[in-house]
Every structure is written in C-alpha cells, then in structure tokens.
Amino acid sequence: MSSAEFSGILFFSSVLAGLLGALTGLGGGVVIVPLLTLVFHVDIRYAIGASLVSVIATSSGAAAAYVREGFSNIRIGMFLEIATTLGAVFGAYLTTRVPTEAIGIVFGLVLLYSAVASYKGKHSNEGLLTTSGLAGMLRLRGSFPCEGKEVEYVAQRVPAGFGLMFSAGTLSGLLGIGSGAVKVLAMDQAMGLPFKVSTTTSNFMIGVTAAASAGIYLSRGYISPGLSMPVMLGVLAGSLTGAKILVHANVKTLRTVFAVVIVVMGIEMIINSVMGKL
C-alpha cells in the first residue's frame, strides 16, 4: 500500500470517528486509538499522539458550533477544565512508566464501564433546578434550546464532578482519548446536567485537556506528522458534520450508539492487549 492510499484510508476512517465523537462527546479519540492499533498496527503511543492532535481538532471544529447554538455551558466547562488539565499532565507523565499492554487493558475497561453507565442512565434532556453551596456560589447554571423552548438546569454534586474530571484528565493523558466518555458521564450522572449539555460541553473541554498532554507527547517524539495530519483533517470534517446532526438528534439514540460502539472497541482492546498484539 502506497503512502497516498494509506493516508486516504486513514482520512475517511477518521471522518467516521469524528462524526461519532461530535455526536456523543467522545472526541473521536475513543475510535481513533483502537482503529490505528488494531487495524493499521500502529504502535499505541504513536496512535495516542495522533489521537490527541485529532481531539484538539474535534474540539475546535464542533465546540464553536455548539456554543453558537446555545448548548455548551462555557462557565461550567472552564471550571472543570482546571481538574482535567492537571489530570492530563499527570497522565502524560505516566505514559512512559506504564507497559503498552497495561495501557490497552485500562483503555478497554474504561470503555466498557462508560458504555454500561451511559446505557443505564436516564434518557432525558431535563435539567435539575435545585442547587447546593458551590453551584450557587460559582453560578454553575444555564439553559439550552429544546423543542422550541429554553430548558434551565443547575449543576449538582460539584465536588464529585470535579474529582471525576481529574480522573478523566489522567485517562486523557494516558490513553489519548480526550476522556470524553468519562467527562460526559461525570456531567450527565454525577452533576445532573442534561445529556446534550454534557456532550457539547465535553466537546468544548476536550481540546484544552488534550493540548495539555499533547505537548508532552510531542517532546517525547510520539507525534508523527505523516500519521497525525490525515487523522486530524478527517476528524475535523466529521466533527463539523456531527455538530449539525446533534442539534436534531434523539438523546436515546445517541446513548445507544455511544454504548454499542465503545463496547465493541473495549472488548477488542482488552483481547489484543492480553494476547500481546498491541
């Protein structure tokens, strides 16, 4: 296979990954890493480097559209980015100290947990309006358009959400997935935010989280321009398309797609890690 053919296949595969990432808040990296390692047999650390670059592109592409449409909550996103950025730097530090097989197994287990937790969650766009001390003090509230009206919500259990975001950032730095899966679950279930707000705010946040760890991967030589460029362009194109679809998408359908895709990817990652194929 020539370099042009390889780049072309990578590009179109990345378009699909970006589309899924924008619709679910995953950021595309959750598909890119297994795709590169399992299908194209790329070393997992270089796959993570390319994924982090693509995650930044996804956030840049989809986040602007979501903010314009009134879905993303910038205030909540910027507050939680403090935790995810600290976690991302810590996760990137762990990368060279954790065996490749262990990274793959952790990746798979995170995906399986995320799928189960997401699928069991309430399929609702309604937000909670009760408030606690921190949420009120920091004004972690907002509204978003739903079926022709504005739905209001207030963040719940802020300390728990902040702690989960540190874990999400650590996984981002370690696995290169943008940690969108964990972020969506933290905001959706721990903090009680509506699902569409969770996915769009996750897309807003993942670029900052990924950038914090991408610099460390770059300094260690794990970001290859020839690999990262077609992946980044494909994910960007897919994320822009996904941003337009999400506005009219059904929440239950999004959760089902989210769960099915990452269950398959999670099982594949665990099997290949145990068999030493990563």
What is the pLDDT averaged over residues 174-178? Answer: 67
Residues 139-163: pLDDT tens digits?
787 777 777 777 788 888 888 888 8
Task: Let me know: does 158 contact 5? Beta carbons within 8 Å.
Answer: no
- Band the pLDDT of 123: cuts 50, 70, 90: very low
Query: CB 238: neighbour CB atoms within 10 A?
Result: 30
Domain boundaries in the chain?
A: 3-274
The predicted structure's pLDDT at residue 179: 64
Task: Let me know: does 10 contact 231? Beta carbons within 8 Å.
Answer: yes
- Band the pLDDT of 199: cuts 50, 70, 90: confident
Q: How far is CA 205 from CA 165, 210, 260, 273, in A?
A: 11, 9, 24, 29
Chain centre distance of CA 124: 20
Task: Let me know: does 69 contact 247? Beta carbons within 8 Å.
Answer: yes
Residues 23-69: pLDDT tens digits?
765 656 677 887 888 788 888 888 888 888 887 776 666 667 777 77
Alpha-carbon distance of 194 to 152, in angstroms, equals 9
The predicted structure's pLDDT at residue 132: 59
Q: Is the model's pTM score more than 0.75?
A: no
**152 strand-pairing partners:** 143
- Band the pLDDT of 17: cuts 50, 70, 90: confident
